[in-house]
Chains A and B, each alone.
Chain A
Amino acid sequence: MPRQNSRRQFLAQVGAAGAGTMLPTSRLVAAFGEATKSKSRVVVARDEALTKGRLSEHRDLITKLLDAAMQRLTNAPDAVGAWRQLFDPGDRVGIKVNTLGLYTQPAVVDAIVNGLKQAGVPAEKIIIWDRFDVELARAGFKLNKSSQGVQCRGTDAEQVGSGYERQIESSGRIGSCFSRIATRQIDVLISVPVLKDHNLAGASLGMKNFYGAIHNPNKYHDHNCDPYIVDVVSHRYIRDKWRLTVCDATRAQYNAGPGRHPGFAWSFGGLIVGTDYVAADAVAADLLDTQRKVKGLKALADDGRPAKHISTAAARGLGEADLGKIDRIEV
């Protein structure tokens, strides 16, 4: 498979150039996908039809939309090629959804699973996860702790080896126990947040989503969750495994998050997809601010809750936060 050879050669080259320092996987992949470009690419894929009705009625459309976004993201000639650029059949993939408050739509996750299968990842090696079984179930995910099919479970599913590590991990200012799903049960992460406002962090997006991977997120809400969010995703358990963000913007919320607040519901009908997870969050936050402006609300930064963690992540070299330097593609 020339695809894999070229990718591995590239990884090897970067590894050599990096003199032993570990670059975030997402950047490696982004660089590989866009070998001739320096810009981080983020695809905003939207379909008017998705803004109406129930999402479960639009499963095929969501799959098509995501596949199209993946093609644009990777420049691959077809969807299979796009998914294969990012995922190998041997990968154990964790899909980190967000089921606290306004939750990730199962139909979006189905489309991701479909893509992974196209890349040859066996269903049994895919885990859809968040903190709690009960929250996953409430969001409409079908729990599966058997050895067959796509796995779906919370970190609290200790009877199947989940739970938190007992060892405290330090990363920057945080000291946390990580979910064993992230540390032991998967090699690759896909972050699938919801495009939504957050009363402290400004926006709850791809990076903030990994507060659900540690045991003590409540300790890290000061200063708009900054730099704590970046400290969490900088840890090797996240940073080295993270390959893709698919931000679920089918049913978004532009204010009063992260809890559900129908008064601020926003059927955007789209997905925000990127391998540079800082860039993906920057674009998503920009969409959020644009919508707030349309609705006559203050920008997040002017409302006392700037999404500072996005620029902090960029300053630490995790990705691109400058919208002017991001290759933003609308599909």
Chain B
Amino acid sequence: MDDLSNLFCQPTRRDLMRWGVACGAAGALCHIDIQHAFPQDVAGGLDLAGPRLKGVVRHPAMFWEKLDENRVKCVLCPRECQVADVERGYCGVRENQVGEYQTLVYGALCSANVDPIEKKPLFHYQPGTTAFSIATAGCNIECKFCQNWQISQFRPEQVESIPVDPERLIAACKARQSPTIAYTYSEPVIFYEYMHDTAALAREHGIGSVMISNGYIQEEPLRRLCRHLTGVKIDFKAFTERFYAESCAGELKPVLKTLEVLKDIGIWLELVVLIVPTLNDSPDEIRRMGEWVIEHLGPDVPMHFTRFHPTYRVTNLPRTPVSTLERCRQIALDAGVHYVYAGNVAMHPSENTYCHNCQHELIRRLGFRVRFNRITDGKCPNCGTNIPGVWSQEQALAFKPRT
């Protein structure tokens, strides 16, 4: 659980009413008296004391269709769960109540931190700035190596959350002077409605929004969302259907589709590949992945190969050797990708950004810190080459979908 209590000002009346609904009506799951949950303890106009709640927030879901016998079909993600009355979708956060589909996590934040944007990781998006990073419970796939499984693989009533409506989130973000909100940690697609509304409002307030996602989303909701986002990072888990099926309870094909749609939309995109020893680290697989990226996304989409640590249901494999990450990086560079990084390996030179034209060192990083950034007006100061990325808030907020 992150440092939630220090991030937000007092809950709004709407926040409390939402939880009140959750507590009083069907599906009431929380047991803490709302009146006592948020005492008037405000320090510096920001801080919020009091216990967090375990419960659900009921809010109409987007992207679903009615079926017979009070069943619904969710068309938010490629799973297309057909959900009977009183049941939930695979994600565990969308529930059918008498033929109406609801999200149970609208503004129910279980995680909130002010992180360096480099931690997302986004290396070509306003380096050295912070992202106000939030999550709710739930995920629409299940990676057996999930680093955040304590929130992603639980239901909203099983994790502590605090209710924060979009207005209050934006106020908190402004107070922390973050130019960006990052929807991250678990899987933001499953809290789509909240992300959508918050991102739209954030833009009006001059704040950008980046989605850190597995890419498991259908085209229409993705396109609608990208009208409000300013950047996307996709976890590209592997380049085999087998890995997606056996290690993630998902499929590769819909993720490839998402990447192509993002390319078409033209939004800033970076890719992360968590390299799990023996499961997705074969040179041939990385080569094919790199070639696919070049062919479908072009050379300017940065790729990050990051290090696996044993966790959750994969505890029998070692940490990824640094040499494996270096090999993956070289294969992708050889395939023609311009910017390739090794992640979760502090102090490694491949954390830095080098001009793809002249190899001049443009950004030096130390962990998530930026030691220097020499990019000037989006260009390499040495050779004048345009460096792909989002280098200012003005540029971020100017983004509009190409299609």
Contacts and interface: CB of A to CB of B under 8 A. Distances in A.
A255 B71 CA distance: 12
Contact of A215 (B81, B98, B155): B155
A59 B241 CA distance: 56
Given A168-B312, A218-B92, A221-B90, A156 B29 contact: yes
A256 B157 CA distance: 26
Contacts of B204: none
A271 interface: no
Contact of B70 (A132, A170, A256): A256
Given A218-B89, A219-B142, A259 B155 contact: no
Given A175-B144, A256-B69, A258-B84, A216 B92 contact: yes
A153 B150 CA distance: 24
Interface string B142-166: 1010000100011101100000000
B313 A168 contact: yes
B265 interface: no
A261 B84 CA distance: 11
Given A256-B70, A259-B70, A170 B313 contact: yes
A200 B81 CA distance: 11
Contact of B154 (A101, A215, A255): A215
Contacts of B149: 168
Interface in B75-92: 81-82, 84-92
Given A170-B313, A199-B71, A258 B87 contact: yes
A219 B85 contact: no
Nearest to B153: A216
Contacts of B27: 134
Contacts of A134: 27-29
B227 interface: no
Given A215-B154, A218-B155, A259 B85 contact: yes
A175 B145 CA distance: 12
Contacts of A164: 158
B37 interface: no
A261 B54 contact: no
B249 interface: yes
Interface string B350-394: 000000000000000000000000000000000000000000000
B251 to A, nearest CB: 12
Contacts of B142: 175, 219
Nearest to A264: B69
A100 interface: yes
From A170, A198, A215, name the one whose CB has the most chain B CB atoms within 10 angstroms.
Answer: A215
B108 to A, nearest CB: 16
B157 A156 contact: yes
From B54, B71, B90, name the one whose CB has the most chain A CB atoms within 10 angstroms.
Answer: B90
A257 interface: yes
Contacts of A199: 69, 71, 82, 84, 87
Contacts of B84: 198-200, 256-259
Interface residues of A, number: 27
Contacts of B81: 221
B88 to A, nearest CB: 5
A198 to B, nearest CB: 8
From A101, A221, A256, name the one whose CB has the most chain B CB atoms within 10 angstroms.
Answer: A221
Nearest to B141: A219
Interface string A255-276: 1111111000000000000000
A170 B157 CA distance: 22
Interface in B137-191: 142, 144, 149, 153-155, 157-158
Contacts of A215: 154-155, 158
Nearest to B144: A175
B90 A132 contact: no
B114 to A, nearest CB: 27
Contacts of B155: 215-216, 218
Interface string A81-106: 00000000000000000001100000
Interface in A177-222: 198-200, 215-216, 218-219, 221
Contacts of B29: 132, 134, 156
A201 to B, nearest CB: 11
Contacts of A260: 85
Contacts of B249: 219
Nearest to A263: B69
A218 B74 CA distance: 14
Contacts of B69: 199, 255-256, 261
Interface of A: 100-101, 132-134, 156, 158-159, 164, 168, 170, 175, 198-200, 215-216, 218-219, 221, 255-261
18 contacts: A100-B86, A101-B85, A156-B31, A198-B84, A199-B69, A199-B84, A215-B154, A218-B87, A218-B92, A219-B249, A221-B81, A221-B90, A258-B84, A258-B86, A259-B86, A259-B87, A259-B98, A261-B69
5 tightest A-B contacts by CB? A259-B85, A199-B84, A256-B69, A218-B92, A259-B86
Given A156-B31, A156-B54, A170-B313, 20 more contacts: A156-B157, A168-B149, A168-B313, A175-B312, A199-B84, A199-B87, A215-B154, A218-B90, A218-B91, A218-B92, A218-B155, A219-B153, A221-B81, A256-B84, A258-B86, A259-B98, A260-B85, A261-B69, A261-B70, A261-B85
